[in-house]
Amino acid sequence: MSDIIAAHNAHKDQGLQVLAIDLTDQEHMSDVRRFAVELQMPFPVLLDQKGKVRQSYALRGVPTSVFIDARGVVRLVNPGPITSEAIQRGLAQIMPVQ
């Protein structure tokens, strides 16, 4: 998560938006909020209570990172823990060239 937070902080002024979505419908929002506060997450943390996000993106494993460009096109799906290299690959596919 620290690499995702660093990417957010480095690119937020260029329009990068990050959403953390907890896909476990068995968790409570208070648990999700506590997690977000502990990690000092600077972006919205949401709870997919009805499994709509999991279903929409056909997600199988947790965690999964999905990189979506400004037009709403999925450019990269990274199942499992994400590396800083994978974050950079995803950002290269969705961020406008400066």
Whether residue 98 is predicted with pLDDT greater than 70 in this model: the reply is no
Mean pLDDT, the chain, rounded, equals 91
Task: Give the pLDDT confidence score for residue 28 in this predicted structure.
Answer: 79
- pLDDT of 86 strictly over 70: yes
Amino acid at site 34: R
Q: What is the pLDDT of residues 15-63, one digit of tens each?
A: 999 999 987 766 777 888 898 999 999 999 988 888 899 899 888 888 9
pLDDT at 81 over 80: yes
The CATH number of the domain holding residue 81 is 3.40.30.10
Q: Whole domain around residue 68: which residue ranges?
A: 2-94
pLDDT at 58: 87
Total domains in the fold of the chain: 1
Give the torsion sign (CA, 64, 70, 74, 76).
Answer: negative
